[in-house]
């Protein structure tokens, strides 16, 4: 974890203003620390930097359904429809703002919250990364934000939206979305990972090539309930992790906070770490997000005391029986996305797990 410690130390001396553990382990994928940047044997080398021609650009198929373009809230509080997060037509109730639920961790000059407390700009530059985190921890919930990444060359940057227990113990739980910058806004990669009881090594990568993440806001979400975790964008599930406790596998069992960070991942993020951030040429990097002020999640008394969130008297909105599996439409979308845009799946990496065997869930039907 040498590089991880370095990143944390660098942040601490530049502009950390609160002591919150926001750099959970997954943010520097440990499997990348051990490989030379030009020896990323764990995934197909399609960087084009190895003397081989790049593979032909994939023909971009049309999504089976066109996701509704989210309209950024412009200060006029929407009325709640009473539907659940993730349901068509759902609008966040206007019952809380950024300041009710989050703390800025790095310098406020780099996390600029709008007056209505619903939107913020996050700026990464040579002075500072941008980090904020929830004040509280939750056990199950629907976490989402509408996010627009900067256009242009964002090589070396990582925008992370993730839930994590505090990470001080080596048994932490975590669900990650990491958007890896690139030379253009095409081929921005969404890496996802899952840690349960401190065990990660479950990376998947999708290139977000069916839309342009820099020209408008898109809705990135993590749905976590008692039976399933679904991670995706604009209602397209890219990643599913089932509760397999009935098969003897561990599932999430701690409170987790929600964290958002924009930081320098030069050592690994873009094309296996070959292309690093050039602050002089490309910074500042400014991402904008909104639609995250309301927490659709069950707040726990503490990380290790799940209170009534573990066995709630009434199933919350994100944990209805209909939320326990993908719907037929979600399965179609999931398969479409994975057939066309998945560039790495840990469950298909025979070489990486040749000596240890693949994580057990890889041998169980996905859903
Ligand atoms: C935040 O950044 C501003 C502008 O770069 C600087 O003047 C200020 O000292 C910084 N504050 C902290 C706490 O680092
Ligand atoms: C960046 O773009 C290249 C092609 O230009 C692609 O091979 C790679 O998967 C993309 N993503 C990252 C994170 O490097
Ligand atoms: C993007 O920026 C990187 C430095 O971060 C540089 O090495 C690379 O050549 C740039 N790519 C393009 C297409 O300008």
- Specify the pLDDT at position 361: 97
Residue 8 has pLDDT above 70, yes or no: no
Q: Is the backbone peptide bond immediately before 234 cis, with ω within 30 degrees of 0?
A: no
Which range has the worst mean pLDDT, 38-52, 203-217, 236-250?
38-52
86: confidence class by pLDDT, cuts 50, 70, 90? confident
> Which stretch of 35-49, 124-138, 146-160, 299-313 has the lowest confidence by average pLDDT?
35-49
Out of 154, 156, 271, 341, mutate this one to test ligand 2's pocket (max ligand atoms within 8 Å of CB): namely: 271
Please tell me the pTM assigned to this model. Answer: 0.84
Which residue has the least CA distance to atom 11 on ligand 1? 107
Higher pLDDT, 107 or 220: 220
Selected residue with higher pLDDT from 258 and 30:
258
CA dihedral 12, 14, 18, 23 (to 10 degrees): -50
Confidence class of residue 15 from pLDDT cuts 50, 70 and 90?
Answer: confident
Tokens of 237: 């599930």
Does the pLDDT at position 315 exceed 50? Answer: yes
Q: What is the pLDDT of residues 348-360, one digit of tens each?
A: 999 999 999 999 9
Query: Which of 41-45, 120-124, 235-239, 247-251 is predicted with the least confidence, judged by mean pLDDT?
Result: 41-45
Residues with catalytic function: 174, 178
C-alpha of residue 109 to centroid of ligand 3, in Å? 26
Q: Among residues 154, 143, 225, 223, which one has the least CA distance to residue 188?
A: 154
Condensed to tens digits (0 to 9), the pLDDT of residues 213-224 reads 999 999 999 999
Nearest-atom index, ligand 3, CA of 156: 5
Centre of ligand 3 from the C-alpha of residue 153, in Å:
6
Instruction: Supply the pLDDT for residue 88.
Output: 81
Ligand 3 centre from 131 Cα, in Å?
25
Tens digit of each residue's pLDDT (9 = 90 or more) over 18-45? 544 444 434 444 343 333 333 232 333 3
Give the confidence band of 6 by pLDDT, cuts at 50, 70, 90.
Answer: very low
CATH classification (class only), 2-28+92-363: mainly beta
| Exposure on the CB side of residue 229, measured as CA atoms within 13 A | 24
Better-predicted residue by pLDDT, 91 or 251: 251
Mean pLDDT of the chain: 82
Q: Which H helix or E strand runs over 166?
A: none
Could you tell me the CA-to-CA distances from 134 to 104, 110, 116, 193, 293 in Å, in that order? 9, 17, 18, 20, 10
Give residue limits of the domains in the chain.
2-28+92-363
Residue 279, number of CB atoms within 10 A of its CB? 15
Q: Given a cut of 50, is residue 312 above it in pLDDT?
A: yes
């Amino acid at each position: 974890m040498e590089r991880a410690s370095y990143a944390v130390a660098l942040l601490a001396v530049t502009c950390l203003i609160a002591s919150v553990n926001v750099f959970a382990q997954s943010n520097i994928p440990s499997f990348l620390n051990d490989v030379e940047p030009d020896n990323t044997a764990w995934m197909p080398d399609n960087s084009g930097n190895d003397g081989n021609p790049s593979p032909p650009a994939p023909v971009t198929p049309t999504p089976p359904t066109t996701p509704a373009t989210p309209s950024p809230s412009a200060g006029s509080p929407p009325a709640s429809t009473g539907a659940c997060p993730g349901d068509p037509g759902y609008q966040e109730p206007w019952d809380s703002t950024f300041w009710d639920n989050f703390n800025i961790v790095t310098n406020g000059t780099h996390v600029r919250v709008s007056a209505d407390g619903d939107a913020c700009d996050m700026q990464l530059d040579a002075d500072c990364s941008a980090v904020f985190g929830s004040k509280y921890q939750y056990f199950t919930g629907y976490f989402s934000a509408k996010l627009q990444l900067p256009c242009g060359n964002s090589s070396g940057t990582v925008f992370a939206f993730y839930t994590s227990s505090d990470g001080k113990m080596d048994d932490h739980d975590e669900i990650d979305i990491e958007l890896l910058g690139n030379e253009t806004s095409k081929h921005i990669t969404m890496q996802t990972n899952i840690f349960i009881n401190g065990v990660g090594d479950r990376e998947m990568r999708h290139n977000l090539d069916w839309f342009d993440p820099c020209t408008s806001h898109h809705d990135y979400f993590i749905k976590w309930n008692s039976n399933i975790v679904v991670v995706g964008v604009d209602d397209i599930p890219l990643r599913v992790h089932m509760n397999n406790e009935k098969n003897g596998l561990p599932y999430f069992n701690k409170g987790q906070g929600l964290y958002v960070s924009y930081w320098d991942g030069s050592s690994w993020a873009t094309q296996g770490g070959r292309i690093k951030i050039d602050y002089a040429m490309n910074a500042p990097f400014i991402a904008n997000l909104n639609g995250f002020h309301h927490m659709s999640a069950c707040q726990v008394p503490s990380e290790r005391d799940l209170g009534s969130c573990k066995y709630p008297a009434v199933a919350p909105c994100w944990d209805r029986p209909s939320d326990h599996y993908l719907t037929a439409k979600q399965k179609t979308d999931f398969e479409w996305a994975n057939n066309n845009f998945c560039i790495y799946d840990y469950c298909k990496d025979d070489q990486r797990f040749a000596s240890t065997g693949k994580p057990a869930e890889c041998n169980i039907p996905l859903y």
